[in-house]
Structure formats: structure tokens, C-alpha cells
């Protein structure tokens, strides 16, 4: 089974390396009218030639074409060929073989091909408009046939709707056959299937015959019945983006049906590699997240006069019509008018985000999700009751003493320390308070008896720092309460002696292992590192504030006014060069797997090495990347605005030319 994420990465790279082909001679059907209604993930370059032409005019495009980047590009191409050799084995062709082949739309889709009571059958499709370039497409198909047959594939041919369809059963290596048989489900096959067809307009590669038959039926007979274009979620997402830019064909479109995508992606993963325990599919199904019927949007790379100072513009619509049930009811983001950065936010931070959240509503509807994750109904209510009434607990009415004293504005600030190391990233969250004293008292109740929390006094403010336990004999509370510094814990067998290594892992598994909490400047502040809180608590003059910087104001006010988002629930700004610096430098150093940043930890979680205490292997060798001072000249500031609407949310943003 071709994995959608891998194919998506490959196609994105293909788009970046493709040489412009011939112009389309005549209109051809759009990919969304050919793909089935069971498509759960879709990405499309509406015109490969136009996208490449536009991209080459951007600062980033010009920078990547600079000779200084050639050693890295050559090395990256070799790495990609190596990393995705499995895909090449399946298709019989490599990435470079597709250069110059597409002339119009290039699309990828992840599809729910079949469904039974036992399982979902996934399928992946690559569909390229090759109008006017049939000779090149035929050469690619011929090469695929030769390569696959040489690998032992059994070829067959069928005629579907008058079109020749070439089917190749590609045997798995012996080792993979054993693993597949043990894995079961979608992976329990002795061979992979690859299917090709070529018409006057389209080159298609797929792994499911019924999907190919459906595509050809749409293509030959015409009409869009039961196609992706008829799906309500898809229609509403595209309609909302189109309303923001009438009579416009974007450079790229994308769409995901979240619940369906989660199901199909899980089905495409061999059972021995699936995450254990409660699945995201179950949580989404039980918690009402099926209300999100579609997420997608437009991406444009403006060129010429239309650029208006933008490198990239994106529009994203989330179609989620109410009413909501269970924990889906948490997602209430009121629109507001005040988005001016707080006076304590300095100009030297990398990124700033501020949004409005109905925190009390979110708290009141969090229970079903908590119970779902724990696996027992009513646990959240019992936990809150224990926090309030248990003699050994903090004896706090969390809703009354803490939540009701919080406002609705939540902000996040990102920064980093030099030199760049695996611990350089700094993040800070600030929640507006209605009563500083009441919130400070509630926080103290929650953490004062926690041996991993150390009380400090900084700039006249009480700060609670997360530390290693200094005294192993300090008694710890055993009350089952939600911690403000959550640890990774599982059920313990009291009949077994405590494993010191496991205990050490638990102590190191804090969500914020070096974090700190305080109440200051009208906000509850939570930071990943104590030094960031110290920085925020230092008084700064008006000239040092982000809100007074000319370049910030130019982007924050002028650009957002041009974006035309009238009502907003969130806004963000970033110095893009500073925002990506930590990740860039760690990739360059080959240390991204050891990163303690949220991105690094997320990547480690998604790409677990499978061995306890062993970090994943970095997929990209960044040793040939140029010095960051060379790179940052192509990275301008970025901003976005989000608004809450009757049937979901709409987000619009830009990367500004530097």
C-alpha cells in the first residue's frame, strides 16, 4: 500500500524539480470530478507549469536556484531517491522520470476504496494531466513496465471503458512477506499491486483496480456524480475559499476529511506498527469530531503585479456546522477586536500568536474527552470532586477558584537561546486573568505540595519552577488529580518492586520538563523554561516592545487590512527567519532527533525508533546546508488572521517579501 504522506512528500519535491512542460491545448476535467466521493485526502497543483513559473519569481525560489544551494539540492535529491526507494520499487519509476511530464493539473489522493465490518481498504492515486505531452508520458509508462517485469512482477492487461489498463502484481521480498502475513489486515498480501493507464489527457498510477475503474468511468462518460466534487464538506470548503477570491484559480488546492483520513491512514499502516491503546479514530468518533466535515483550502504563489509584496498566500476553511456534541463543544473562539501585543512582549521574540477562547465553556465540556482517554465514564467528575474534597488533595474548587478567574484571551510567544542546541527553543503561554490574586492563590493550592515544584521570588512575583525531586524521602500525594505539569504515567502493578529506571523516565516525562508558572502583568504565564519567564518579568521600555516596531506594524496592520478578514478570533505574526532558525540549525547539525522542542518531540513520537531510549534516525542529511545567515535573506515576516463563522472557521495568511 502506497502511503499517502510519502507520496505527498515525493510529489511536492517533484513539483519543485519539474521542468515546465507544454501548455495545455484544451480544457480537461478537473481531478476532483474524476476522483471518487470516498476521497479523504487530496492535494493538487492546478497547473504544474504555472506553479513552477510563479515559484521561480519568489525570493525563496530564487534563493533555492542560487549556485550556493546546488550542493545541498544535489545531495537532497540523492537522499530522497534513497529514502523513497520503496516507492520507486512499487512504481518502477523514480522521481526524476516524471520531470517535464505533467502539463496541467497534478493531483494525489488518499481514498477509502472499500469498507466492511472488519476493515477499511485504502487506496492511493497519482493523476497527472499530460495533455500535449503524450510521448513523454508513454516513455515513463514503458520504463515502468520494463522495470516492474524485471523485478518479477506479473503483468496483465484489461480494457476499461475502452482504455488499456496495465496491472502489475509486484512480489514483496521474502522478509516483507513474512512481516505482512504476521501483520494482518491491509498488509497481509504477498505482492503489491500497481496499476497504470494513459489517455490523451491523463497519466494515472494507482494501487486499486476498482478505484481506477471509477476514475475511467467519470473520464469517459463525463459527469461528476459520486465524485469528490459532490461531497458536501469539499464543496463548502472550496466555496468559502472561492468567496474570498472570486474568479480565481489557485496555484494549489488541498482537502482532508479528518475522521475518514484517520481511519484510512490507520488501515494503511501494518498492525505491528500501529500505535497501541485508544486510537484517534475512536476518540474522534465518540467525541463528536465528525462534525468537522472538511478542512482544506487554496495556496497561491503570487507573481508580478499580483504579488503585492507577498511570497505565499494561503486560505484555509474548516467546515464544521453545529450543533456539536460531547467534547466538540469545547471549540468556541469568540471574534474580538483587540489584538495589540501586550507591552511585555519584546521585539526580539521569534513569533507571537494571540486568540480568544471561551475557556469556561472549554472546561465545562472537557470531561467527555478526559473520560474517553482514561477509558472510564465519570472519571473527570470524580477527579474534580477529589481535588475539592479529598483531605489529602489540594482542596480546590478548580472551576470556581481558577477557571472563572481567567479571561478569554490566550497568547503564545516563541523564542530561542544562542548558540543553537537541542534545548534552545523557548515557548511561553499567557492566559489573561480577571483577578491576579485569586489565580495566584489557586495555582499555589495546586502545586505547593508537589515535590517537583520549587517556589521562587523573581522581580517581586512568585514563580513555580519544575525541578527534579531534590529529596527522595519527600512524601508525594497519591490523589488522582490532573496535574498542571502532567507526567507520562501508566497503570502500575503494586505487586512488583518499583523499577528505578521507569521511575526516572516518569520524572523526565513532564510535558514541560524545565518549565515554570507565574501570575504577572494580568496573565497566568506558563513557560517551557524559567529563563523565559525571567525575561518576560524584566521591565522593557516602549521602544523595546514588539507593538512599537515599524516593520511589525507594517505587516500587522497594513497587511491584515488588505487581507480583508473583517471579524477575527486569532492573529499571529512571526519573523520567519527567527522562527525556523532552531529547526534549521539542528537539521544542519544532524541533531533534530535529540531536540527537546515541541516539533522535535512530535517528530520523535511519530517516527519512534521502536527501541527504548534510542532516538529516531534523522531522515535528512543537512550537512551541506549553507550557513543560516545566507538563508535568512530569503525569509520575510509572516502573518495570519482567523475568524469564527456560522459553520466553522476561516484562516487567511501571507508570507511577506523581505
Q: What is the pLDDT of residues 48-66, one digit of tens each?
A: 888 988 988 888 888 888 8
Cα separations (Å) of 398 from 374, 387, 442, 449, 482? 20, 8, 8, 16, 10
**Cα–Cα nearest to 313, from 335, 298, 332:** 298
Q: Please tell me the distance from the alpha carbon of residue 294 to that of residue 40, in angstroms, as a whole number.
A: 9
Q: What is the pLDDT of residues 241-272, one digit of tens each?
A: 999 988 788 999 999 999 999 999 888 877 77
For residue 509, pLDDT over 60 is answered with no
Q: Which residues have CB under 8 Å from 519's CB, separation 6+? A: 433, 436, 439, 440, 443, 461, 462, 525
**Cα–Cα nearest to 573, from 554, 591, 594:** 554
Where residue 338 falls among pLDDT bands split at 50, 70, 90? very high
Q: Please tell me the distance from the alpha carbon of residue 330 to that of residue 433, in angstroms, as a whole number.
A: 19
For residue 182, pLDDT over 60 is answered with no
pTM of the model: 0.86
616 and 603 in contact (C-beta within 8 Å)?
A: yes
Q: Please tell me the distance from the alpha carbon of residue 585 to that of residue 587, in angstroms, as a whole number.
A: 5
pLDDT of residue 158: 96
Chain position carrying cell 525571567: 534
For residue 467, pLDDT over 80 is answered with yes
For residue 191, pLDDT over 90 is answered with no
DSSP string, 534-556: HHHHS---GGGBGGG-HHHHIII
DSSP string, 321-375: PSPP-GGGGG-----BS--PPPTTSBTT-SEEEEEE--HHHHHHT-HHHHHHHHT
Q: Please tell me the distance from the alpha carbon of residue 384 to that of residue 397, in angstroms, as a whole number.
A: 7
Query: Is 62 or 274 the better-scoring residue by pLDDT?
Result: 62
pLDDT of residue 608: 53
**Cα–Cα nearest to 292, from 326, 244, 324, 267:** 324
Where residue 119 falls among pLDDT bands split at 50, 70, 90? confident
How many other CB atoms are found less than 10 A from the CB of residue 9?
A: 16
Least confident of 123-127, 270-274, 401-405: 270-274
Q: Please tell me the distance from the alpha carbon of residue 100 to that of residue 48, in angstroms, as a whole number.
A: 9
Q: What is the pLDDT of residues 4-56, one digit of tens each?
A: 334 344 444 334 433 333 333 347 899 999 999 999 999 999 988 889 889 88
| Measured distance between the N- and C-terminal CA atoms of the chain, rounded to whole angstroms | 42
Domain spans, the chain? 4-230+258-292, 232-243+293-321+567-658, 339-487+500-548
163 and 197 in contact (C-beta within 8 Å)?
A: yes
For residue 194, pLDDT over 60 is answered with yes
Q: What is the pLDDT of residues 341-388, one digit of tens each?
A: 999 999 999 999 999 999 999 999 999 999 999 989 999 999 999 999
Average pLDDT over residues 191-211: 93
pLDDT of residue 258: 96
Where residue 561 falls among pLDDT bands split at 50, 70, 90? confident
Where residue 83 falls among pLDDT bands split at 50, 70, 90? low
- Arithmetic mean of pLDDT over the chain: 84
Amino acid at each position: 500500500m502506497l502511503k499517502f504522506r510519502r507520496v505527498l512528500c515525493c510529489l511536492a519535491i517533484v513539483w519543485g524539480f519539474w521542468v515546465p512542460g507544454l501548455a495545455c491545448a484544451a480544457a480537461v476535467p478537473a481531478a476532483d470530478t474524476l476522483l471518487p466521493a470516498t476521497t479523504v485526502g487530496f492535494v493538487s497543483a492546478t497547473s504544474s507549469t504555472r506553479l513552477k513559473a510563479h515559484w521561480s519569481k519568489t525570493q525563496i525560489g530564487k534563493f533555492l536556484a542560487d549556485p550556493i544551494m546546488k550542493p545541498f539540492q544535489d545531495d537532497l535529491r540523492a537522499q530522497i531517491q534513497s529514502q523513497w526507494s520503496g516507492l520507486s520499487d512499487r512504481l518502477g519509476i523514480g522521481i526524476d522520470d516524471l520531470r517535464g511530464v505533467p502539463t496541467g493539473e497534478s493531483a494525489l489522493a488518499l481514498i477509502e476504496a472499500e469498507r466492511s465490518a472488519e476493515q477499511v481498504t485504502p487506496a492511493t492515486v497519482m493523476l497527472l494531466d499530460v495533455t500535449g505531452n503524450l510521448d513523454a508520458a508513454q516513455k515513463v509508462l514503458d520504463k515502468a513496465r520494463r522495470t516492474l517485469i524485471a523485478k518479477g512482477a506479473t503483468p496483465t492487461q484489461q480494457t476499461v471503458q475502452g482504455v488499456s489498463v496495465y496491472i502489475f502484481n509486484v512480489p514483496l521480498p521474502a522478509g516483507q512477506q513474512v512481516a505482512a502475513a504476521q501483520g494482518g489486515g491491509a498488509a497481509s498480501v504477498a505482492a503489491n499491486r500497481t496499476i497504470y493507464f494513459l489517455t490523451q489527457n491523463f497519466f494515472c498510477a494507482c494501487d486499486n483496480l476498482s478505484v481506477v475503474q471509477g476514475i475511467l468511468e467519470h473520464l469517459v462518460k463525463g459527469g461528476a456524480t459520486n465524485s469528490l466534487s459532490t461531497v458536501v464538506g469539499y464543496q463548502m470548503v472550496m466555496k468559502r475559499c472561492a468567496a474570498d477570491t472570486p474568479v480565481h484559480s489557485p496555484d494549489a488546492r488541498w482537502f482532508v476529511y479528518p475522521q475518514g483520513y484517520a481511519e484510512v491512514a490507520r488501515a494503511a499502516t501494518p498492525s505491528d506498527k500501529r500505535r497501541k491503546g485508544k486510537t484517534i479514530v475512536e476518540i474522534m468518533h465518540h467525541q463528536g469530531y465528525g462534525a468537522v466535515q472538511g478542512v482544506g483550502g487554496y495556496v497561491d504563489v503570487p507573481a508580478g503585479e499580483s504579488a503585492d509584496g507577498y511570497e505565499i498566500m494561503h486560505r484555509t476553511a474548516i467546515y464544521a456546522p453545529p450543533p456539536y456534541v460531547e467534547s466538540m463543544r469545547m471549540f468556541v473562539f469568540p471574534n474580538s477586536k483587540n489584538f495589540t501585543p501586550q507591552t511585555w512582549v519584546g521585539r526580539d521574540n521569534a513569533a507571537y500568536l494571540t486568540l480568544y477562547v471561551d475557556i469556561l465553556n472549554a472546561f465545562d465540556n472537557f470531561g467527555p474527552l478526559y473520560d474517553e482517554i482514561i477509558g472510564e465514564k465519570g472519571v473527570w467528575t470524580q477527579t474534580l470532586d477529589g481535588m475539592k474534597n479529598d483531605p489529602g488533595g489540594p482542596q480546590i474548587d478548580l472551576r470556581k477558584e481558577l477557571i472563572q478567574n481567567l479571561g478569554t484571551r490566550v497568547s503564545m510567544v516563541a523564542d530561542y537561546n544562542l548558540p543553537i542546541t537541542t534545548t534552545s527553543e523557548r515557548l511561553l503561554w499567557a492566559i489573561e486573568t480577571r483577578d491576579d490574586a485569586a489565580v495566584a492563590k489557586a495555582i499555589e493550592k495546586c502545586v505547593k505540595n508537589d515535590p517537583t515544584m520549587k517556589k521562587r521570588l523573581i522581580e517581586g512575583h512568585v514563580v513555580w519552577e519544575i525541578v527534579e525531586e531534590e529529596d527522595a524521602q519527600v512524601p508525594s500525594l497519591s490523589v488522582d488529580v490532573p496535574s498542571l505539569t502532567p507526567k507520562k504515567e501508566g497503570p502500575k502493578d503494586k505487586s512488583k518492586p518499583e523499577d528505578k529506571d521507569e521511575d526516572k523516565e516518569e520524572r523526565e516525562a513532564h510535558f514541560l520538563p524545565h518549565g515554570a508558572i507565574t501570575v504577572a502583568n494580568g496573565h497566568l504565564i506558563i513557560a517551557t523554561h524559567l529563563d523565559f519567564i525571567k525575561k518576560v518579568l524584566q521591565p522593557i521600555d516602549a521602544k523595546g516592545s514588539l507593538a512599537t516596531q515599524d516593520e511589525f506594524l507594517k505587516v500587522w496592520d497594513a497587511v491584515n487590512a488588505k487581507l480583508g478578514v473583517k471579524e477575527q478570533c486569532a492573529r499571529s505574526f512571526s519573523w520567519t527567519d527567527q522562527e525556523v532558525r532552531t529547526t534549521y540549525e539542528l537539521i544542519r547539525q544532524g541533531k533534530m532527533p535529540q531536540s527537546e522542542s515541541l516539533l522535535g518531540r512530535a517528530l520523535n513520537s511519530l517516527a519512534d525508533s521502536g527501541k527504548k531510549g534510542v532516538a529516531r534516525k534523522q531522515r535528512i542529511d543537512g550537512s551541506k546546508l549553507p550557513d543560516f545567515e545566507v538563508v535568512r535573506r530569503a525569509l520575510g515576516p509572516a502573518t495570519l488572521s482567523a475568524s469564527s463563522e456560522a459553520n466553522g472557521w476561516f484562516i487567511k495568511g501571507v508570507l511577506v517579501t523581505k
